[in-house]
Structure 1
Amino acid sequence: MIRTLLTAATVVVTLATTADAACSGPGFTETLPAETRERIDTAAAQTPYGEGRLWQATRGDKTLTIVGTLHLPDPRHEPLLVQIETRMETTDFLLLEADAEEERRMSEAFVTNPEIMTMPGPSLPERMSEEDWQYLSEEMSKRGIAPMMGSRFQPWFLSLMLSVAPCAMQDLIGGAPGLDKEIEALATDANVPTASLESFDTIFTLFDTIPLEEQIDQLLVTIYPEDLAASMHISMLNDYFDGYVSRIWETAVVAIERLPGLTPEEREASLAMVELLLIEQRNRAWIPVIEEAAVEHDHVMIAAGALHLPGEIGVLYLLEQNGWTLENLAR
């Protein structure tokens, strides 16, 4: 859904020149001391369902195939796609974070009702100091976001855009499909019907619960420096394709400690907010959707961002609590 939001935003905002080079160099975890890497590995190992991108869940005569996706194009998707294509032959329904119809609705809403992602009242430069606005403008420009257009975005939405490494922005908003879109294409070819796990405006509603000034404060203090953002992106890709899904989150926990100007309490609050709004609340809302689909269909495939799978608030654990038996098909 995050890639969908950012891609659809290009309908209503003109992007400046984006970064020329793909992310390169060592990953973030490669630069860490051994004891910190061990801390990440230990926390990841203790996470339920922390490894694996392709799972099967069974209950009675019903089957679910659950895919942890990456919303970015990458040739390394191919081996997993081969397995998914095989399982698509027996799938009779596909659930995605946002299928083509939901993306169409979102794009249409952005054009007809752009205020759904823009702030009411004064713009960002009117709400912050000149120094803060200049810093924010520079970070937007690095990611190809025209500052004066970005100045009207909801702070939470701008924060999502700024969470992307400048070197990765072109891939995110470019036309090449990520794994979720590749899976949807397989379903289309196999005449498998699709639906969305949630409405496109779900995230808007969740973030509307945060006061505007608090969103602006969070926006200013949680922008990763360009080199850190690039190395984090590389580590995220490496961990994803190695199947160490929970390590992606645990690495982010360590990375946020590198941000200047945040107290331990502020770091914890920021991570807790992201986990609650972007992962937990959505996961819990998806379970009834999945269960309803399983009543109507014998074999349902679910494709959602990989970070929705692990942990005690993850989709896999929540399904286990509902009596499903899980099997890891591919790390």
Structure 2
Amino acid sequence: MRLLIAAALLALSGQSALAACTGRDLMAALPPERAAAIRAASEAVPYHEGLLFQAERGDQRITLIGTYHFPDPRHQATLDRVAPALAAADALFVEAAPADEDRLAKALAADPTLMVDPDGPTLPERLAPAEWDALAQAMSDRGTPGVIAARMRPWYVALMLGVSPCMVRAMADGSGEQGLDRMLAQEAQAAGVPVRSLEPWDTIFGLFAGLSPEEELDMIRAGLPAAHYADDYAVTLTDAYFRGEVWSIWEFGRFDAYANSGLSRQAVDDQLSLVRTRLMDDRNRAWIAPLLQGAKRAGPDGIVAAFGALHLPGEAGVLSLLEDQGFTITRLDG
């Protein structure tokens, strides 16, 4: 579950995660039968592989880039490949344009209650002692003392559990290296290409609205068992991304949760359905309107759209949704 949430996270800034993360690719060590099951499940999903695509309808063109939000030196090759299309584009669409990222950061600084619950019961009061002990250690590993984590909102804690300690340490170094989303935004700005957001700046605060108290805690419980090998998860996620094996990231996380989360298969499936619906499918559908409007306005100049790679595949993925709108989809990196 940690891998799924990390892969679907909103854009985060930071320094080179790869340089700070050491671990093993867990997919490479899978038993043959589980590897085959993951492969079969992935292959059943539309557009399960690939990071670069083009969507065309008449004289309208959208270049689509599946991104990885954390820094990695291998992003430069992708940036070099898409730079000509980006320089010629009418606009770049990303999950959150730099101005909206700044607005979000200012809102969080001005109102800590967006992430912290100052009034309700604390997480130590809501979780079993063993669960809280494991969570306090996991959050401490990520630079957040237990006394602070105790009052954090469960959705934020669950998202933090999806970021490995090595990535947190790397982001704290502040050397200025960026994830692919920000690299693309900087390239667009340097070329005079407008950068536009696909969704409102405060979308993150509504992603988990309306969850029951138990559903909130289950999000945390789902991420705890893998906390001690989080750096391995980071390497696994990164390597799968750069192989273009996008949906295998999701299926690996699902089978790993079945085996190691301590939750029933039904509970795992419920959590996956929640994460997929809230973090991916609902947002994908909301992004189609601005993409269509942008492509229509741009005409032959086209637009470029860059967002987390897990938004590309699936029947409710952006590629299939554009196909439903009459676009022809062509993979560019296959």
The TM-score normalised by the length of structure 2 is 0.90
Question: 1:111 is matched by which residue type in structure 2?
Answer: A
Aligned to 2:181: 180
Contact 1:311 1:317 in 2 (8 A): yes
230-239 vs 305-314, greater mean Cα deviation: 230-239
Select 1:323's aligned residue among 316, 323, 326. 326
Contact 1:222 1:259 in 2 (8 A): no
194-203 vs 217-226, greater mean Cα deviation: 217-226
Query: Post-superposition shift, 1:193?
Result: 0.5
Question: 1:235 is matched by which residue type in structure 2?
Answer: T
Q: Secondary structure at the match of 1:136?
A: helix
Distance 1:22 1:258, change over 3 A: farther
Q: Does 1:269 align with 2:266?
A: no
Q: Secondary structure at the match of 1:258?
A: helix
Query: Post-superposition shift, 1:191?
Result: 0.2
1:272-309 deviations in Å (ceiling 9; x for gaps):
11111100011011111111212222211100000000
Aligned to 1:22: 20
Contact 2:10 2:95 in 1 (8 A): no
Select 2:309's aligned residue among 300, 306, 313. 306
Distance (Å, rounded) in 1 between the aligned partners of 2:210 and 2:171: 27
Question: 2:327 is matched by which residue type in structure 1?
Answer: W
Aligned to 2:60: 62
Q: Does 1:2 align with 2:4?
A: no
Distance (Å, rounded) in 1 between the aligned partners of 2:13 and 2:217: 22
Aligned to 1:71: 69
Aligned to 1:235: 236
Q: Secondary structure at the match of 2:237?
A: helix
Contact 1:155 1:212 in 2 (8 A): no
Distance 1:7 1:130, change over 3 A: farther
Distance (Å, rounded) in 1 between the aligned partners of 2:91 and 2:322: 18
Aligned to 2:81: 83
Aligned to 1:13: none
Query: Post-superposition shift, 1:105?
Result: 0.9
The TM-score normalised by the length of structure 1 is 0.90
Q: Secondary structure at the match of 1:64?
A: strand
Aligned to 1:11: none
Q: Secondary structure at the match of 2:38?
A: helix
Which residues of 2 match residues 1-331 of structure 1 at below 5 A? 2-4=9-11, 22-119=20-117, 120-172=119-171, 174=174, 175-298=176-299, 299-331=302-334
Distance (Å, rounded) in 1 between the aligned partners of 2:161 and 2:104: 21
Question: 1:328 is matched by which residue type in structure 2?
Answer: R
Distance (Å, rounded) in 2 between the aligned partners of 1:275 and 1:70: 17
Query: Post-superposition shift, 1:131?
Result: 3.2
Distance (Å, rounded) in 2 between the aligned partners of 1:200 and 1:250: 30
Cα RMSD over matched residues?
2.1
Query: Post-superposition shift, 1:49?
Result: 0.9
Contact 2:96 2:198 in 1 (8 A): yes
Query: Post-superposition shift, 1:22?
Result: 2.9
Query: Post-superposition shift, 1:172?
Result: 4.9
Distance (Å, rounded) in 1 between the aligned partners of 2:306 and 2:275: 21
Contact 1:163 1:224 in 2 (8 A): no
Contact 1:72 1:171 in 2 (8 A): no
Question: 1:45 is matched by which residue type in structure 2?
Answer: E
Distance 1:260 1:96, change over 3 A: closer
Contact 2:281 2:316 in 1 (8 A): yes
Query: Post-superposition shift, 1:238?
Result: 1.1
Question: 2:207 is matched by which residue type in structure 1?
Answer: L
Distance (Å, rounded) in 1 between the aligned partners of 2:196 and 2:87: 18
Distance 1:199 1:104, change over 3 A: same
Query: Post-superposition shift, 1:89?
Result: 2.4
Q: Which runs of 5+ in 1 are unaligned?
A: 9-18
Question: 2:50 is matched by which residue type in structure 1?
Answer: G
Aligned to 2:5: none
202-211 vs 182-191, greater mean Cα deviation: 202-211
Distance (Å, rounded) in 1 between the aligned partners of 2:261 and 2:102: 40
Q: Which runs of 5+ in 2 are unaligned?
A: 1-7
